Amino acid sequence: MTDAPDAPDTSTEPWRRLNPRMLLVHPLRELIRYLPVLLIALIAGAAGGEPWWAYVLSGLGVVFGILRFFTTTFRITPTHVQVKSGVLGRRTLSAPRDRIRSVDVDSTLLHRLFGLAVVKVGTGASHGQDELELNAVALSEVPALRAELLRLAATEDTDDDGTARAPANLSGWQPRWVRYAPLTLSGVASIVVVAAAALQLNFFEGGILTRLPVVQQGIGWVAHLPLLTTALWGAGGLIVIASLVAMARYALSYGGFAIHRARPTTLHIAHGLLRARQVTLDETRLRGVLLSEPLSLRAAGAASAHAIMTGLGRQRGGVALIAPPGPRDEALRIAAEVLGTSEPLDVPLIEHGPRAHRRRYTRAATFAGVLAFAALVLQLLGIVGPLVWWAFAVIVPASALIAEDRWRGLGHALQPGWLIARSGSLNRRRAVLATDGIIGWTIRRSFFQRRAGLATLIATTAAGRHRVVIPDLPDSQVWPIIEAISLRHEELSPGQYLARYAAAV
């Protein structure tokens, strides 16, 4: 994607405006964006302040939202997609059509109320370039626009009687999978965001929240409770609220999750209740899959899966969700469906040896030692009492268990055409990467790794910021992996390929 407002233009294609209904969407969206500012104004008014600047900022936001319609135009030429935008500073974004890798359709609740959607064109741009976005397009025009951008064939699959055949839904998503949501950290993350926003809000007008009568009464009531009671009720309330928030977010984000293979090399992913999202991916850009199994989900036999793709841009990190948190067997099935084979997902992994095993426990002991030193310092300063040492009755065994789990999850394997790597405990990931998608290697050795005869091997890809990391690999296995994958580009049979790798190791 290029940003060239002064580039010569020889195309005769006319410039088009976006849907005029965006004159209603953008001002309302700007008002929603300034809701925190308006909230400050309302609270400040209740507390005796007059933040007139809040109303001025909100009004300017509405004006700029209206001006965006009159200053935004686009066109699709035989070779490029171009968008002109900007109120104060004009600019033209141009993307070659042969570089388009994906088309995302995002329709928030506000957009859906007016029958609109945001179409985002993915070209694999890096180095911080802006993405090409058409905001907003009528929902009825989205399928034709998406087909035109991706140059899909206009024909449809038909039955014997000539009627159009709907593509099969590859996903087996079920509403009852919402039970896995509390095992993710989405609820806790939402609470942290709200708490941070409340703390920032409290800085305005000299502690605007703590001056409200209802907040002062609540603080006074909590202050009279015993410390242990407050801690238990607070922890219980946090768990309940975080679980409810996580379940609500899961249902709204992944409701109706579906994957269709619109064409032999095209995946179409759709999900979302209030905010509908659609992603169309070119499978010729598929470079592998990533199976994510955080500790909490793994304990419940659950996992999620992502496709490793080129052309998704830096914001996505080169991965696209193909299976939301759900049963592990379902995530494996979808990953195998996308890959076209299940063998790399089931192959046994090669262990990294006793030195990597010992390093897992060394790092766990180091973590516990740092906490013990911090506890000692705090006790000497009189901040905490001797009871703090009882916490290590949990910390030490937990560190040892996590170290053992990290060791059990560490491994790699080579299959004809595939590099498989797995690592982690709290967030265990198994990456299956096509060796043809590897564009470079990085070998890292810290001071302690060099002493232990270990190294971290990193396979870099063209899929955004995504890379496959094999940590704590014995030195003797680093170059055999690189050489075996390089040899694979020769005309070797699968048996010769694996035999030469095994001999090298």
Question: Domain ranges in the chain?
Answer: 175-254, 258-351+410-504, 354-407
Residue 153: pLDDT above 50? no
User: What span, in angstroms and rounded, lies between the C-alpha atoms of 335 and 307?
Assistant: 8
Higher pLDDT, 416 or 122: 416
Residue 17: pLDDT above 70? yes
Residue 165: pLDDT above 80? no
Residue 317: pLDDT above 50? yes
Phi and psi torsions of 169, nearest 5°: -85, 115
Q: To 5 degrees, how large is the angle CA 210–CA 211–CA 212? A: 90
pLDDT band at 209 (very low <50, low <70, confident <90, very high): low
Residue 56: pLDDT above 80? no
Phi and psi torsions of 96, nearest 5°: -60, 135
Class of residue 454 by CB neighbours under 10 A (exposed 0-12, middle 13-18, buried 19+): buried
Residue 128: pLDDT above 50? no
Higher pLDDT, 453 or 158: 453
**Per-residue b/e over 196-210, b at no fewer than 16 CB within 10 Å?**
eeeeeebebbeebbe
Q: What is the mean pLDDT of residues 48-73?
A: 67
DSSP H helical ranges for 224-276: 227-254
pLDDT in tens, 63-73: 777 777 788 88
pLDDT in tens, 419-429: 999 999 988 99
- The tokens describing 432, both together, are 């299956």
| pLDDT, mean over the chain | 79
Q: Which amino acid is present at 8?
A: P
Q: At what angle do helices 35-46 and 22-33 cross, to 10 degrees?
A: 50
Higher pLDDT, 202 or 232: 232
Higher pLDDT, 193 or 384: 384
Which of 110-114, 233-237, 243-247, 389-393 is predicted with the least confidence, judged by mean pLDDT? 233-237
What are the DSSP calls for 91-136, one per residue?
Answer: EEEEEEGGG--EEEEEE-HHHHHTTEEEEEEE----TTPPPEEEEE
User: What span, in angstroms and rounded, lies between the C-alpha atoms of 340 and 399?
Assistant: 39
- The tokens describing 7, both together, are 């580039």
Other CB atoms within a 10 A radius of the CB of residue 366 amount to 12
User: What span, in angstroms and rounded, lies between the C-alpha atoms of 411 and 348?
Assistant: 9
Q: What is the mean pLDDT of residues 323-333?
A: 93
CA distances from 371 to 50, 353, 385, 426 (A): 48, 28, 15, 19
What pLDDT does 37 receive?
A: 61
Q: What is the pTM of this model?
A: 0.77
Residue 121: pLDDT above 60? yes
